[in-house]
Structure 1
Amino acid sequence: MSSDLVTFEQILPLLGVRVFAYDWLRRTFLTEPTKDLLQTMSQEGFVEGFPFVDDSELIHEGVGKVSKYLKEKDILSEEVYNQLHWDYTRMFIGPYELSAPPWESAYLNKERLLFQEETLNVRRAYLKYLFLPKDYGHEADDHLGLELDFMYQLCELAISKVNKQDKAGLKEVLVDQKSFLEEHLLMLVPDFSKNMAKNAQTQFYEGMAMVLAGFIELDLKALEELLDILG
């Protein structure tokens, strides 16, 4: 067996874990909660199986809050469903002043304006991979949910590179993910997640803020490990 095949087999499980994590996170932060998502998360052991839960106090505490909320509430009842929708809407959409604006430019731009240089920098990263965000031109490209979706798409692309045994292509995708994480998500998530955890009215979103912050921090280490294995 060639050394490249050994390398691919060695890193494939971690790539799969990252696909799972980013899929869950993008679905949580891009739109209001759906009943399908809540039903999936309510399955026995699903939340508790979030990646790196034993390696991060933030993820561990966040998972505990989300799990407790889902077990104690009838999440498919209209009352609880509406409660979650309102919690998402008032923090991320409006109509009132947002307690946790989900755009990178809200934290990096002095005037906190959208569609500024920060947004264009994110768009340039998307364009390399022909990633066209949902509601392009109407929703700013630097929305957290879109950035998480972009990372998810690149995670899927990384697995396809493994399946094609394209080591150079795989390394390029991982290098670009690391750059995007350092230049964008890690510039947004720490302050965003603190605002969200502080202002959430449900344990579900308070916990997901912690899970997000803990995962983004550890994913940088995961990417460094993957690139080190590739050499």
Structure 2
Amino acid sequence: MKVHQDPIFNVAQAEDKKKAYMIFSAYYHNQLWNQEELQLAIDMLRDFAVTEELAIEADLKILEQSSNDQLKSAVFDFTKLFIGPDQLKVPPYESVYVNQDRLIMAESTLKVRRFYEMCGVEINGKGKFPEDHIAFELEFMSYLYHRALADHQERRRIRQFLKAHLSKWYEAHLTEVEEQAETEICRAWASIMRQVIEKDISDAENEWKGGS
């Protein structure tokens, strides 16, 4: 019987990822349009990019150099993409991407809910949006890193959730954002998130390679 050796846990990296996922969740909660809050997020992501060798500086510059008028245009763009009131240009729900009929509130939504419940999590605002809204999934990833920092064995949940859920749809969703967005700001956010999540999935796979 093969015994899986527990890999060394990178605490600093986990702390950075926890913050990055919370930033992305805040964005999808329609926040970070204030210049001061946006700059704090940019500074954190820039430090993270240096550590993780991510090529997101050009995208961060787009965010950093945005004027108030450009931010207002991005808010309008964001609304059309993810909120409405018309048909959503890019639905921010896992179920849309993992089900052939692109339906909201499908069986996949219930699977996400059960994963949350397994970890003792109840989503605030779940009555307003289904639990597989990307803002909730990103916030949950931040929470999982918070748990892993307290108990390193808990990081197995990170790999499980990435594999079962986020990895199955983030790329298709962000590709649609890049195709449908009318502003550089919304496209920049999609590009940044793509690289961070892609790196996290790669790290999780490498960390547990050969394990169960």
| TM-score grouping bracket, smaller chain normalisation | 0.7 to 0.9
Which position in structure 2 is the counterpart of 1:67? Answer: 61
Question: Counterparts of 2:51 and 2:13 in 1: how far apart (Å)?
Answer: 14
2:189 maps to which of 200, 208, 211: 208
Report the CA distance shift for 1:174/1:46 in structure 2 as closer, same or farther (over 3 A).
closer
Deviation at 1:210, TM superposition (A): 1.1
Which position in structure 1 is the counterpart of 2:4? Answer: none
2:131 maps to which of 122, 125, 141: 141
Report the CA distance shift for 1:151/1:54 in structure 2 as closer, same or farther (over 3 A).
closer
Deviation at 1:186, TM superposition (A): 1.0
Which position in structure 2 is the counterpart of 1:192? Answer: 173
Question: Counterparts of 1:159 and 1:146 in 2: how far apart (Å)?
Answer: 20
Question: Counterparts of 2:175 and 2:118 in 1: how far apart (Å)?
Answer: 31
In structure 2, give the amino acid aligned to 1:11: N
Query: Is the 1:22–1:151 Cα contact (8 Å) retained in structure 2?
Result: yes
- Structure 1 segments unaligned to the other structure (5+ residues): 1-6, 162-169
Query: Is the 2:90–2:173 Cα contact (8 Å) retained in structure 1?
Result: yes
Query: Is the 2:167–2:201 Cα contact (8 Å) retained in structure 1?
Result: no
Aligned residues: 204
The reply to whether residue 176 of structure 1 matches residue 175 of structure 2 is no
Among all aligned residue pairs of Structure 1 and Structure 2, give the percentage whose two residues are the same amino acid. Answer: 22
Map residues 92-107 of structure 1 onto 2, 5 A cutoff: 92-107=82-97
Question: Counterparts of 1:197 and 1:186 in 2: how far apart (Å)?
Answer: 18
**Counterpart secondary structure, 1:112:** coil
Deviation at 1:105, TM superposition (A): 0.7
- Structure 2 segments unaligned to the other structure (5+ residues): 1-6
Query: Is the 2:63–2:188 Cα contact (8 Å) retained in structure 1?
Result: no
Question: Counterparts of 1:202 and 1:42 in 2: how far apart (Å)?
Answer: 18
**Counterpart secondary structure, 1:136:** coil
In structure 1, give the amino acid aligned to 2:67: D
- TM-score norm. by structure 2 comes to 0.84
Which position in structure 1 is the counterpart of 2:3? Answer: none
- TM-score norm. by structure 1 comes to 0.78
Deviation at 1:52, TM superposition (A): 6.2
Deviation at 1:221, TM superposition (A): 2.4
Which position in structure 2 is the counterpart of 1:12? Answer: 11
Which position in structure 2 is the counterpart of 1:159? Answer: 149
Question: Counterparts of 1:177 and 1:47 in 2: how far apart (Å)?
Answer: 20
Deviation at 1:227, TM superposition (A): 4.6
Which position in structure 2 is the counterpart of 1:166? Answer: none
Map residues 84-99 of structure 1 onto 2, 5 A cutoff: 84-99=74-89
Task: Give the 4+ runs in structure 1 shifted more than 3 A.
Answer: 43-47, 50-56, 224-228
- Cα RMSD for the two superposed structures: 2.5
**Counterpart secondary structure, 2:92:** coil
Report the CA distance shift for 1:100/1:66 in structure 2 as closer, same or farther (over 3 A).
farther
The reply to whether residue 217 of structure 1 matches residue 198 of structure 2 is yes
Question: Counterparts of 2:51 and 2:150 in 1: how far apart (Å)?
Answer: 26
Which position in structure 2 is the counterpart of 1:40? Answer: 37
